[in-house]
Amino acid sequence: MYSAPVYTFNQVITISAASYTLQLRDGLNNYLRFTNASPTITIPLDSAVNFPVGSQIFVKQIDAALTIAVGAGLTLNGGTGNYTGSAQYGVIILTKVAANTWEASGTIAAP
């Protein structure tokens, strides 16, 4: 029988800024709620913020639009370009799998 994973978060962080660059603390089992109308979330290169491989960042999309910005030198789901949240109140899980390489799952649409 399959059991859904249970996540326990250190804290819920509400962010109202129009743009936000992920910080190291965000990968420490925190849950990020974005309340701005159309926020842009940037995943930084390892040279700026070196998240440990295996870091997971949970992003809650409160409004109808959300963008995950993928800069030059970074790979998300095997590609480049900006991704968008695909559902209001959806959750996107960002997981670092290698240097400058991330995977996203949940309510996300490819560029």
Give the pair of three-digit tokens for residue 80: 């480049």
Note the pTM of the prediction, 2 decimals.
Answer: 0.84
CB 1 within 8 A of CB 27: no
pLDDT digit of tens for each residue in the chain (111 aa)?
655 555 566 677 788 888 889 988 887 767 788 888 788 889 999 999 999 999 988 888 888 788 898 878 999 987 777 888 888 888 888 999 999 999 998 888 877
CB 92 within 8 A of CB 105: yes
What's the chain's length in residues? 111
- Rounded Cα gap, residues 15 and 104, in angstroms: 20
